[in-house]
Amino acid sequence: MKSGLVVELESFWKGLPRTIFCCVVSNLVVNYAKCPLALEVLGSFLRGKGRSEWKSALDKLGTVCSVDILKTPEISYDGLNDDEKKIFLHIACFFNGKDKDEVMAACDVSDVIGIEVLIERSLLTILNGRVHMHDALQEMDRKIVIRESPIEPGRRSRLWLREDANRVLSKNTGTEAIEGIVLHPTEPGLKVHANSKSFSTMKNLGFLGIDNLILPNGHEHLPDSLQILKWTGYPATSLPSSFNPGKILELSMCPSCIYHFLTGIKLNKMPEELGLVECLEELHMSGTAIRDLPSSIGMLEGLTSLD
């Protein structure tokens, strides 16, 4: 059965001058998109589009209006390419409110195009250099991630809830689907338990931001895919010997028990191999036993923040 919007559109569609067509469609959209956010996002998406794109989007709008007006922005989301969708979901799950440059680096964006597209679509705003997303859009995006695997969180691309992370890490049910685990320190709740092999199956894990993680038997593996490693209260004295940090952009291990870094030798300074971590941009090691830096730190041309 056709929606009311589609029936109304079809009665006006053919033969109308462009100005009248636009006026009619605008009135119909306002009537159906009763949420200001939905109207702003839809308008940004349809700006400059032809009649066929308008009709396709408005047909979809007619099918969702009676169910949930907050689904309207999904029309704009569906129009993003894969890279833009990835950035959008990363921000919704991990980086809402963060510095724009940090978001771009974390999302592996070589230029500003992806972020600018999301801004033009009214899906993001930049305020004082920080990336912001409307609460309703963040909720929509997180639901998209949950729908990837409603029952088993270990098959989702992103984890941000402590209860989900605890389930995945304690039962070792993580998969290659997981691209990031970032638990916000301000979120109250249970401590997260893990076993020694919890990260061994997460071949594509790019972001790990965690605290209060209980590792009774230590851990044997960290994925070489990690770009951001923030581990407050790191419980071991060293990173796993098999870990290759070549892709690390940001490393924050404060406070922690760490006093081995990239080698198995006990030390109070970082090894010369630090210079091999060419991508490193931020290094935060206060609160550890490490006090001296190697001469190779001068090779880290991209390093912008050192603590």
Domain identity same for 9 and 70: yes
* 279 located within any domain: no
Domain identity same for 56 and 10: yes
The end-to-end CA distance of the chain, in Å, is 63
Of 24, 43, 74, the residue that ends a domain is: 74
* 212 located within any domain: no
CA-based angle 241:242:247, to the nearest 5? 110
Domain identity same for 85 and 70: no
Domain identity same for 100 and 136: yes
Q: What is the widest separation between alpha-carbon atoms in the chain? A: 80
The pTM of the whole model exceeds 0.85: no
* 203 located within any domain: no
Of 118, 140, 162, the residue that ends a domain is: 140
* 187 located within any domain: no
The pLDDT of residue 156 is 97
The pLDDT of residue 67 is 38
Of 88, 109, 140, the residue that ends a domain is: 140
* 194 located within any domain: no
* 281 located within any domain: no
Domain identity same for 101 and 123: yes
- The number of distinct structural domains making up the chain is 2
Report d(CA 275, CA 18) in Å as an integer: 62
- Domain range enclosing 95: 80-140
* 64 located within any domain: yes
Domain identity same for 11 and 69: yes
* 167 located within any domain: no
> What is the CATH number for 98?
1.10.10
The pLDDT of residue 142 is 92
Domain identity same for 60 and 107: no
Domain identity same for 53 and 85: no
The pLDDT of residue 106 is 74
Domain identity same for 43 and 67: yes
Domain identity same for 68 and 112: no
Report d(CA 59, CA 68) in Å as an integer: 15
Please list the rounded mean pLDDT of every run of 10 residues in the chain (307 residues). Answer: 44 53 59 55 64 65 46 68 88 89 70 77 85 84 93 96 92 95 72 88 93 81 90 81 82 71 48 62 70 74 79
